[in-house]
Amino acid sequence: AKATGKDKFSFFSKDLKLAMRKRVEMEVKLRTALDNNSLAIFFQPKYDLNLNKVVGAESLVRLIDDDGSIVSPDEFIPLSEETGLIHRLGKQVLVKSCEFIAKCVEANEPFKIAVNVSAQQIANPSFAKEVGEVILSTGIDPGLLELEVTESALMADFDQTRNVLLALSSLGLSLALDDFGTGYSSLSYLRQFPLNVLKIDRSFIKDMDTEPQALDIVTAIVRLGNCLNMVLVAEGLETELQFHSLRQLGCEYGQGYYMCKPISEDEFTTRFLNQKTM
């Protein structure tokens, strides 16, 4: 029994060492990417479900590894939050996203671009001022910018959070509540914060074809959003049935692999910005 215990311990510690080394390596990669301003932004098109037409996109950060492989944000966003690097990351993503908005407008496609924002960014009292500066320096119409926050970002100090969201809102951009229905949902958030958009979490969309309960929840969220005059966006549509059901329910917008995966800026440009002949 003793030997087993020792084996387990050494196995675990080897595992732990590997995990720690990976973490340090990832932090180095992230810092290098930030220093070189070389993070990539992928864009996932957002569709008007009634018109089956692209009206915007969500901006999703990617880290390109030395060998050219793409690192998912799940592997470095939590790390960037723990190390405080999220502020630099968030700024670079915002600048690149606003530059992309300008590029779309230039190509006669005034797409609305949604940018993910972490709780720590919202907790920064000068965040709204910084966003205002980026809007000015890139010269974009703030109406084309949307910021996505999760419920966890709203659970911090109430007055501070509300002030930041009100300041952002007064810049003329719109605010979306991401992953709605997961986490510590409180319906009072919807009244107390100036939120314009509800994004229905993928977990409900995923099961709505097969589980009546999931369909009921999606139906209820769509009604709730309509009552509160909020724009509804469903995420993670993977089937034709989901597309049609959501449209039928009155959900106006959607994103998902069924329509299009997140794609590089170049691919987005080729597929969606060069459609019009002048």
- Chain residues in the site for Ca ion (CB under 5 A): 116, 148, 178-179
- HSE-up of residue 87 (Cα within 13 Å, Cβ side): 11
- 31 or 182: whose CB is closer to Ca ion? 182
Pick from 161, 165, 177, 179 the residue near ligand C2E by CB under 6 A: 179
Does 242 interact with ligand C2E (rule: CB under 6 A)? Answer: no
- 14 or 84: whose CB is closer to ligand C2E? 84
Q: Which does 255 bind (CB under 5 to 8 A by kind): Ca ion, ligand C2E, none?
A: ligand C2E
Q: What is the rounded radius of gyration, in angstroms, for the C-alpha atoms of the chain?
A: 20
Q: Angle at which helices 212-227 and 240-249 pack, to 10 degrees? A: 40
Of the candidates 80, 61, 78, 94, the one whose C-alpha atom is nearest the C-alpha of residue 168 is: 94
Residue with tokens 């986490």: 183
Does 45 interact with ligand C2E (rule: CB under 6 A)? Answer: no
Largest CA distance in the chain: 78
Three-point CA angle 94, 179, 253, nearest 5°: 80
We find the least distance from the C-beta atom of residue 242 to ligand C2E, in angstroms, to be 9
String of contacts with ligand C2E for each residue 143-162, x by CB under 6 A: --------------------
- 116 or 118: whose CB is closer to Ca ion? 116
- Contact status, residue 205 vs residue 256, Cβ threshold 8 Å: yes
Cα 204 to Cα 240: distance, rounded to the nearest angstrom: 16
Does 262 interact with ligand C2E (rule: CB under 6 A)? Answer: yes
Alpha helices, DSSP H, located in 108-176: 119-122, 127-138, 158-170
We find the least distance from the C-beta atom of residue 44 to ligand C2E, in angstroms, to be 6
Does 73 interact with ligand C2E (rule: CB under 6 A)? Answer: yes
Of the candidates 187, 102, 183, 100, the one whose C-alpha atom is nearest the C-alpha of residue 141 is: 102
Pick from 27, 238, 247, 269 the residue near ligand C2E by CB under 6 A: 238
String of contacts with ligand C2E for each residue 108-137, x by CB under 6 A: --------xxx-------------------
Q: What does DSSP say about strands 40-48 and 174-180: parallel, antiparallel, or unpaired?
A: unpaired
Does 178 interact with ligand C2E (rule: CB under 6 A)? Answer: yes
We find the least distance from the C-beta atom of residue 256 to ligand C2E, in angstroms, to be 3
Cα 217 to Cα 211: distance, rounded to the nearest angstrom: 10
Applying CB under 6 A, the span of 21-29, 169-177, 185-193, 253-261 interacting with ligand C2E comes to 253-261
Does 69 interact with ligand C2E (rule: CB under 6 A)? Answer: no
Q: Would you tell me which residues interact with ligand C2E (CB under 6 A)?
A: 44, 60-61, 72-74, 77, 93, 116-118, 178-179, 235-238, 255-257, 262
